[in-house]
Structure 1
């Protein structure tokens, strides 16, 4: 059995969010062009998992095994929540439970894409015409999670275009707010082996954005444009949070719950986890803990959960 692991083969596989009614949620993400790539049922534990992603012939990961993809969304449904009038998730954007921010899709023609979502009856946190930033929008999924919409082309080039092809969409990134950017940079670069592909500084507004990826064989785009990539991680750092000893973000797994985790898939699960052990990482769950011996969970500096799973491409067999 191989005892080494190659971080250049890692993928940011999925982002997990809890949902109240899976039928409503799947319908929404299918409207965005996604497909249920896989569904796992655990009736004895009373929950199901739905893995959605882009799988058309034009999709970046078309036809790949579920763990050999980037930019999936995992919906977790705990049985009975759809019939519980009191059940609701926290979307990560309301005080005092801010932490997870949003997922983001990139689209061919942003005006047409937003109009299509609005015509389907879905609400927006921010329309293109709201505020000063006229090149991004935020749609709301059935549970109130924010889904950012960005264009793969400059917004000026798609003005007046009335058609949109969902087969060209990408699940571009997921955003997390972090308290101490230096600690987070060290974790995601040195521990998880991700590459910083873009940085946006907004000193007047008091925040910076950092975009990480596993570029793989394609590498980082020479022009620096990341809107056609999938499976990025955006870290948002608001200046000064690192200086407040009492400040912390909500990880989505403490009550009230919502966002659950991000997940990386690796070439050799045992070797990867041994490396994390050697680096003295903080664990939520080691491979040897509990009944599920094929998944592990690290804790990042803000106590967000990072799932680690085997990329099935390297074993030739499904994990479940």
Structure 2
């Protein structure tokens, strides 16, 4: 989730310029904010006659990565107001990544429409990539790559449509200690380790995690042929600067204290009460205990070792608690 200042400008960028599909909007008048959801998908969008609660049940079962934008009402009226992109001090969030067929053509088209280019296309350890800025200054990484069919992308647009509709593939966060993060994401959240990429020029390593809908042999194959399979599964990328775990003064900014910007990673689960029970039993912090939120279902928030918020969302209809926290 990213906080945005002006939903009209953000919608122009993500929907009209970047080519994502608008899924739905949730409004919370008592709290004076709205949520906007985008994805690259051909799944049927509910009609406007559904209630917000019914739409939420549909949304939490969408089988593709979605981008959530939070708009706090009235911020667009304040000329001095802005959000923190995470790439200036205090650092934390890095970028979201979209896969496109041709980075150069995509950047040229976006630039012709007035989108700021942070870094023009160049070759890197992950292939050809570039960076542009969204209206709030968040970094958007564009990479060239053939998106494989299957896994969680099975319901997204065909590979031939990637050029006109970039596919959300990755969210990158900075981490202090990869061993501690590994314990949380693998054992706490049950993610699969998908591979890592060492970048000696910046003295850093990027670790990749996601939910692989495959056998252990296939996951092993992905790790050993990482560049071939790197865009197969939507994933989290954790950027580690070498020896940072030895710096007792270093900490990363989670975006939920001032200056605000990045909000959280959202995951849908089958049993939110059981998931929170296991996470808490493993020694991790529960920020918000599971329970109903307004009319959109049951949610909870947990914290990863660097303080980033992870939202857990009950995938199906409301359930009764199975485990007390």
Assess same fold via TM > 0.5.
yes
- Report the alpha carbon displacement of residue 165 of structure 1 after superposing the two structures with TM: 4.7
2:29 is aligned to: 43
2:186 is aligned to: 189
Distance in structure 2 (CA, Å) of the matches to 1:48 and 1:32: 21
Q: Does 1:74 align with 2:78?
A: no
Structure 1's 226 and 117: CA in aligned 2 closer, same or farther, altered over 3 A? farther
Q: How high is the TM-score relative to the length of structure 2? A: 0.80
Alignment coverage as a number of residue pairs = 286
Distance in structure 2 (CA, Å) of the matches to 1:94 and 1:53: 27
Structure 1's 208 and 131: CA in aligned 2 closer, same or farther, altered over 3 A? closer
Q: Does 1:274 align with 2:274?
A: no
Equivalent pair of 2:193/2:210 in contact (CA under 8 Å): yes
Question: Which of 243, 246, 262 is the equivalent residue of 2:249?
Answer: 246
Give 5+ residue unaligned stretches, structure 1.
1-15, 58-63, 155-162
Structure 1's 277 and 115: CA in aligned 2 closer, same or farther, altered over 3 A? same
Question: Which of 300, 303, 319 is the equivalent residue of 1:296?
Answer: 300
Distance in structure 2 (CA, Å) of the matches to 1:209 and 1:71: 20
Equivalent pair of 1:170/1:230 in contact (CA under 8 Å): no
- Report the alpha carbon displacement of residue 294 of structure 1 after superposing the two structures with TM: 1.3
More helix by share: 2
Question: Which of 183, 205, 209 is the equivalent residue of 2:206?
Answer: 209
Bigger relative contact order, structure 1 or 2 (CA pairs below 8 A, ≥6 apart) = 1
Secondary structure of 1:106 counterpart: strand
Secondary structure of 2:85 counterpart: coil
Secondary structure of 1:286 counterpart: strand
Question: Which of 100, 105, 109 is the equivalent residue of 2:98?
Answer: 105
1:237 is aligned to: 240
Secondary structure of 2:121 counterpart: coil
Distance in structure 1 (CA, Å) of the matches to 2:135 and 2:76: 12
Distance in structure 1 (CA, Å) of the matches to 2:126 and 2:172: 18
Q: How high is the TM-score relative to the length of structure 1? A: 0.81
1:12 is aligned to: none
Give 5+ residue unaligned stretches, structure 2.
44-56, 148-159, 320-325
List per-residue Cα deviations over 1:31-72 (Å, max 9, x = no partner): 212112121100111000001111237xxxxxx942233421
List per-residue Cα deviations over 1:80-118 (Å, max 9, x = no partner): 1011111100000002x1100000000122222222211
Root mean square deviation, CA, Å: 2.9
Alignment of structure 1 residues 3-152 onto 2, 5 Å: 16-30=1-15, 31-56=17-42, 65-68=58-61, 69-95=63-89, 97-129=90-122, 135-152=128-145
Secondary structure of 2:278 counterpart: helix
List per-residue Cα deviations over 1:166-217 (Å, max 9, x = no partner): 4563201000000111101111111111111121012342100011111125
Distance in structure 2 (CA, Å) of the matches to 1:230 and 1:285: 28
